[in-house]
Amino acid sequence: MSTAATPPTPCHLVLFGITGDLSRRKLLPALYQLERANLLHTDTRILGLGRSPMSADDFRNLVLTALEQFGGVTLEHQALLRLQRRMHYQHLNFDEAEHYGSLQESFGNCTLRRIFYFATPSALYADICSGLQQAGLIAGDSQVVMEKPIGDSLASSRVVNDAVAAHFNEAQIYRIDHYLGKETVLNLLVLRFANALFTSNWDNSCIDHVQITVAESVGLEDRWGFYDKAGQMRDMVQNHLLQILCLLAMEPPADLDADSIRNEKLKVLKALRPITRDNIHRNVVRGQYALGHINGKPVPGYNEEAGADGHSRTETFVAIKVDIDNWRWAGVPFYLRSGKRLAQKQSEINIHFRPQPHNIFRGSYAELPPNKLTIRLQPDEGIELQMLNKVPGITEISRIAKNPLDLSFSESFGNQRVVDAYERLLLEVMQQNQSWFVRRDEVEAAWRWVDAITELWEQSGDLPAPYQAGSWGPSSSITLIARDDRLWDD
């Protein structure tokens, strides 16, 4: 389904926050992979911007160390040299407009299309935009890439989006949700719209309910300060989980054009039944991890982590029963669950189909187990369909058993490396394709729905339910789904 059909034209990638965590962990390794695969135009230039002065040698070392630490591959000398040759570093005070003149000097007469990548907190986007504007660095073909979270509520996201919109139009803006660059998330479209078997069974007449789990075993990895202001709802649910939900629930878009896809996703976001004071206790659970064990090793509770203030109420786990009020999904709950310090890293979608209306195999099953489609997003990417089959044997006329039809991506597609989401998304930006980026109205619709929940939490003053690190979340999360006579697929 690659929309990356045309090789990228040359550009000048200007990366704000090159020394930050995101750049070192994700962006530099992604650029290295694009370089290695010859997907960067020979003339493309990369300018890394950071807030501290750094010599060319120190910058080369920073790049090398990041690639060694986070690249996950043995570095190829030639590719590394090519990448380092096209990269430069400049020190810039992002919030001082007068400093941007120096940026203009380093561009000189270069007429390459500029891509401004904001790998900084969104509170800085307004200053960066006005600095660029005042220095006359924004042209009609410039692009801007924005990292999430964009604000922490509908109101604050509007402030950020307005500030950027004062200098760039929507067609120039690429809002990243890196889940939209993941192989298995993109495959949802192929699975649904290229396979007639699923296209025709994908609604409330055939599907009983859907579960989406994005579980992480990691904690905060020195990000307590950032995370504590966000929590799992704003960090993961508002963006990644709702985007997955949209791809699962949306109507077929007319084509893969950016607006065709984004229009359909927006309709889903607008159809989410609001969480209110009356239904929040039945439909939403928030938790916070306490002391426990991960992989047999003791780990501290959230409030005992390095940098913690000891009495935070921020949630590290959320489970929500989501209803989508439209014709296709009326009566089909989507159960969403996401948390830190859970039993294991495991992101998967489980589609539970409806049971057969009549059972003629009572000898094997008093109640026939319904089909279940599992889409493993990560790790061990793949798809598994639970089916019922006759047990082989001459006397086994009507004995049946449940078996999985299992498609493991690593087995089916050989040992092909799983492309990292950032590689794909950077390439898509260079090719000026917005299909896998989030439009402003989507961000706002997602915030509107999430705000209702976070505001109710703030008003209630309730504490998040504690759960042991290394478990699957608080027991109230089990109750949430058990109330509907269902169980989480762990």
- Please list the active-site residues: 240
- Alpha-carbon distance of 148 to 189, in angstroms, equals 23
* 488 within 8 A of 335, measured Cβ to Cβ: yes
CB of 429 to ligand BG6, least distance (A): 17
The residue number whose beta carbon is nearest to ligand BG6 equals 235
Q: Report the candidate in 338, 365, 331, 335 with the shortest Cα–Cα distance to residue 351.
A: 335
Q: Smallest distance, Å, CB 376 to ligand BG6?
A: 13
Instruction: List the structure tokens of 30.
Output: 């992604």
Rounded to a whole number of angstroms, the minimum distance from the CB of residue 343 to ligand BG6 is: 16
7 prior amide bond cis, ω within 30? no
Token representation of residue 93: 């005070």
Q: Is 418 exposed, middle or buried (0-12, 13-18, 19+ CB in 10 A)?
A: middle
CA–CA separation, 365 vs 399, rounded Å? 9
Rg (the chain; Cα; Å): 24
**Residue closer to ligand BG6 (CB basis): 11 or 180:** 180
Smallest distance, ligand BG6 to C-beta of residue 185, A: 10
Binder to ligand BG6 among 235, 305, 428, 444 (CB under 6 A)? Answer: 235
Q: Does 183 bind ligand BG6 (CB under 6 A)?
A: no
Q: How far is the CB of 334 from ligand BG6 (least distance, A)?
A: 19
Residue number, 269 or 421, with CB nearest to ligand BG6: 421
What lies within 8 Å, CB to CB, of 90 at 6+ separation is: 47, 48, 49, 102, 103, 106
Beta bridge pairs of residue 205: none
Is 70 in contact with 29 (CB distance < 8 Å)? yes
Distances, alpha carbon 243 to alpha carbons 193, 219, 261, 303, in Å: 17, 23, 12, 30
Q: Measured from the CB atom, is 203 or 216 closer to ligand BG6?
A: 216
- Measured from the CB of residue 263, what is the shortest distance to ligand BG6 in angstroms? 25
Nearer to ligand BG6 among residue 333 and residue 339 (C-beta): 339
**Least separation in angstroms between CB 145 and ligand BG6:** 15
Tell me the closest approach of the beta carbon of residue 484 to ligand BG6, in angstroms.
Answer: 27
Applying CB under 6 A, among 21, 95, 183, 216 the residue interacting with ligand BG6 is 216
Shortest CB 362 distance to ligand BG6, Å: 43
When the beta carbons of 121 and 274 are compared against ligand BG6, the nearer one is 121
Question: Is the CB of residue 210 less than 8 Å from the CB of residue 350?
Answer: yes
Rounded Cα–Cα distance for residues 423 and 188 (Å) = 19
Residues in contact with ligand BG6 by CB under 6 A are 216, 235
